[in-house]
Amino acid sequence: MALTTQDFVTAAKAEINECSIQEASEKLQQGALALDVREPQEFMQAHLPSAVDVPRGVLEFRVDAHPKLQDKDQEILVYCQAGGRGALATKTLQDMGFTRVTNMLGGFAAWSEAGFEQTKDPAEWNE
């Protein structure tokens, strides 16, 4: 029997930490790095303030070279649009040796719906 996308997400969620958008906001205020794993077009439309964009599809290839992802013990808040890609990315980062990664439940959609701050600042794209 072939696995489905949901099977992969469910398996990842069983092995990662997740937090609410309220907890995510607190983590960011305490200095966590926001890692947006959506596609560049999604990121350019709007994203969390000071987030860095490393799309899920190229995460494994770009993490080691990204200047803001050199400390594997830093607090990282991962998010995508709804939570699935974020869960997969969080599990991947854990597998790559990152020790403090958390997926934001509900993703950017939940963050936006709750009215939390977002930006479109082009100076932050792919820092």
Sign, CA torsion 41/83/79/90:
negative
Residue with tokens 């994203």: 47
80: annotated active-site residue: yes
120 and 44 Cβ atoms separated by less than 8 Å: yes
DSSP structure string for 50-105: T-EE--GGGHHHHGGG-GGG--TTS-EEEE-SSSHHHHHHHHHHHHTT-SSEEEET
Catalytic residue among 32, 59, 76, 80: 80
Q: List active site positions.
A: 80
